[in-house]
Structure 1
Amino acid sequence: MLLKTKPSSNFAPLLKHVIHTYNKVICSGAAVFVIQNDFVVLEEYMGKQSNTSDARNVQQDTQFHVASVRKSYIGFAVAYAVQIGCIKSIDDLAINYLDELDENVWKDTTIRHLLTHTHGLTEKEGVICREYAAGENWTYRQVGIDAMTQIVKRTTGQTISEIVHEKVFTPLDFSESDWYADKHDKLVDVILVSEQDSSWRTSKSTEGDKMNMYVSARELALWGYLHLNKGKVGGEQLVPNEIIQLATSLQSPAAIDDDSPQNGFLWFVKDLPAKKSEIGEKVPKGSYQILGYTGVTVLVIPEENLVAVRMFNSFGSPEGYDYLQDVRSFGDTVMGCLEKGEN
């Protein structure tokens, strides 16, 4: 899925925004990649892949640790399982698919709740327990992701990685997007705010269920571009439109607070105004975004036929840096660049 390059000076403020964040967070390298109207309009790389003296320059094939951006690939696999009938409905109870779950804890928890971070479950000292009734609030917890990957594997007989490779990576010849058990020279080092950060974990699993996914800026942008085009590539429907539509449209329960973040199949989606949204205020309705704690973000704006990606190899928020404010500002800066182009 090669696209022609047509650089646009209108996006200079966005490059400046990424450079500002690059200098604000604790990292060694960054990248920004924007596709608009089927052209690559901005592509820039900066810094090194690590802090070592012989570190490789960040470049086109550099793969960044995407952290929670991996959830967009999980969401895709869940939508695929729904589309082929392995999951009958996202309003089915999770315990219908994972009978080993404790019914007293998981009672009334549906797949929809897992996909939209409204399941109300948390983990304390290795034990899953309930914080609030399913569907009544929004909290960002790993519990729902772990269950969702198991439901996909149990129902389809395939791992997240196998589904995504079969349906997307292999047909599009992607070679810079994967889950890795071991490091290689094109993968960045993740720079931690503190070496004692307990939230940072590595894994040897290559099933797509753990936080060890690395993707290049260009392939992450093309992942967003596949969604923007409803699964079509070069005029061919590579992925059924239904899968993309499920993944990127609003699925959050109606009962949650209107100011809570809104989700599709793990993507954040822009629908009604919401104070706690992780998408910029100026970004139009119908847009969707996924972000990771490494600062990696992919934003899709269908109304503007645009995909914007930023990559960093940071992890966490240093003192004085507001992660969510910065990612909202990223989207608003994109919109400012578009307004500049209209003048």
Structure 2
Amino acid sequence: MNSMEKHNLKVYDETGATALSCLILQDGKTAYEFYTGTHNREYGAQKVQKDSRFNIASIRKSYIGFALACMIAEGKIRGLDQDLCTYFPAIPVIEGTTIRHVLTHTHGLAEKDGKWIRMFPPGEDWFYNNAGVNLLISIIQNVSGKTMAQILDEQVFQKAGFAESGWEKSEENLVLNFLSDPSRQLDDSGEDSNLYCSTRDLAKWGELFLTRGKSAEILTPDAFKEMTSVQFTGLAQLPKQGYFWWVKEEDFPKNEIGPKVPKGSYQLLGITGCICLVMPEYQAVAVRMLNQTGQNREFNYLDDVRTFGDMAAGMVGAK
């Protein structure tokens, strides 16, 4: 058992997960692969395997960012510095907030008791929440006349062969997401965090950006580069984002990307415990899937994410 396997199994145990997988690709080839557990706790539950589909939670934001890039390429959205008031004139509190602020979690907006409030002026701080992404989804679907799921299916899933990715209304034959709200009615429009995909499809998503779309005729290499480049640089010692991707420029104590991961790498994270780390310097993609049962207060989430990245970098960087 190598150190990566030991770490992942420790996390698997501490988070109460039933399912875990890990896949590391380098130069398009499998460098490491591991699967364990079952889709749920029921007797006779399906064992985790290559085509098992996990809920990737907030990793879906990068797919929404991709849809935004498509709308910009088609000229339906002018660019990142467009003020949100253009689309929401009836919400004056958002004035001065741009799409760029939304992508980088520097928008300062929140929803409280059904109303929009401002926590801080746009661009003056960083705070992670879903308020901004909900506005962006509304913009994209309004200008396109399509659901988020339709855009992704047409623009990338069909073209690049993502056969094990999509928004689902039911968890039948899928890995159970213990953190989902059973009372909430989900649909397959792409508006909610019910995007499920297999480990190999999420690794393929990382490779799509690593190769800048070379494997499929979708968008331009420059578009892929922009999506994974820092889009707001005004705040020191705080996370940096591209189109919702976490991008490493430097290391600091609360950076979600480990100190041993090379600069220029970029990463996606989901509350279910899923990670997709892309390391261009090593031509590698590292993915871990998990279905943690809850937020264990004794579990060090930041340490886990940084350790995973450092171990993955050590495995591919030594080759």
Please tell me the TM-score bracket, short chain as reference: over 0.9
Amino acid at match of 2:3: P
1:155 to 143, 162, 172: 143
- Offset of 1:85 from its aligned partner? 1.5
Q: Secondary structure at the match of 1:70?
A: helix
Give a deviation string over 1:256-307, Cα, whole Å, max 9, x none: 2x11100001111111334332111111111100100000000000010000
Amino acid at match of 1:67: A
Alignment correspondent of 2:19: 29
1:45 to 35, 43, 48: 35
Alignment correspondent of 2:234: 255
2:66 to 61, 73, 76: 76
Provide the rounded CA distance (Å) in 2 between the counterparts of 1:332 and 1:116. Answer: 24
- Offset of 1:319 from its aligned partner? 3.1
1:218 to 200, 203, 210: 200
- Offset of 1:204 from its aligned partner? 2.3
Alignment correspondent of 2:166: 178
Q: Residues 169 and 110 (structure 1 numbering): CA distance in 2 closer, same or farther, change over 3 Å?
A: same
- Offset of 1:119 from its aligned partner? 0.4
Q: Secondary structure at the match of 1:138?
A: coil
Provide the rounded CA distance (Å) in 2 between the counterparts of 1:31 and 1:147. Answer: 33
- Offset of 1:315 from its aligned partner? 4.5
- Offset of 1:178 from its aligned partner? 0.6
Provide the rounded CA distance (Å) in 2 between the counterparts of 1:298 and 1:203. Answer: 27
Which piece of structure 1 moves more, 59-68 or 81-90? 81-90
- Offset of 1:227 from its aligned partner? 0.7
Give a deviation string over 1:91-139, Cα, whole Å, max 9, x none: 1101112334x11x10111100111000001122222201110110000
- Offset of 1:337 from its aligned partner? 1.9
- Offset of 1:40 from its aligned partner? 1.2
Provide the rounded CA distance (Å) in 2 between the counterparts of 1:330 and 1:106. Answer: 37
What is the Cα-based RMSD across aligned positions, in Å?
1.8
- Offset of 1:80 from its aligned partner? 1.4
Provide the rounded CA distance (Å) in 1 between the counterparts of 2:102 and 2:230. Answer: 14
1:97 aligns with 2:91: no
Q: Residues 248 and 317 (structure 1 numbering): CA distance in 2 closer, same or farther, change over 3 Å?
A: same
Q: Residues 316 and 159 (structure 1 numbering): CA distance in 2 closer, same or farther, change over 3 Å?
A: same
Provide the rounded CA distance (Å) in 2 between the counterparts of 1:96 and 1:27. Answer: 44
Give a deviation string over 1:162-200, Cα, whole Å, max 9, x none: 121112111233221110112221x111235xxxx87x8
2:254 to 255, 276, 286: 276
Q: Secondary structure at the match of 2:201?
A: helix
Amino acid at match of 1:189: L
Provide the rounded CA distance (Å) in 2 between the counterparts of 1:30 and 1:241. Answer: 33
Alignment correspondent of 1:121: 109
Structure 2 counterparts to residues 181-330 of structure 1, below 5 A = 181-185=169-173, 187-192=174-179, 202-233=184-215, 237-252=217-232, 254-256=233-235, 258-330=236-308
Residues 212, 221 of structure 2: 8 Å contact kept = yes
Amino acid at match of 2:221: N
Alignment correspondent of 1:3: none
1:145 to 133, 136, 142: 133
Alignment correspondent of 1:5: none
Provide the rounded CA distance (Å) in 2 between the counterparts of 1:237 and 1:158. Answer: 21
Give a deviation string over 1:31-63, Cα, whole Å, max 9, x none: 001110110111211000001112110111110
May I ask how many residue pairs the two structures share in their alignment? 319
Unaligned runs of 5+ in 1: 1-8
Amino acid at match of 1:292: G
Q: Secondary structure at the match of 2:152?
A: helix
- Offset of 1:202 from its aligned partner? 4.4
Residues 13, 337 of structure 1: 8 Å contact kept = no
- If the length of structure 1 is used for normalisation, what is the TM-score? 0.88
- If the length of structure 2 is used for normalisation, what is the TM-score? 0.95
Q: Residues 264 and 201 (structure 1 numbering): CA distance in 2 closer, same or farther, change over 3 Å?
A: farther
Amino acid at match of 2:314: G
Provide the rounded CA distance (Å) in 2 between the counterparts of 1:170 and 1:204. Answer: 23
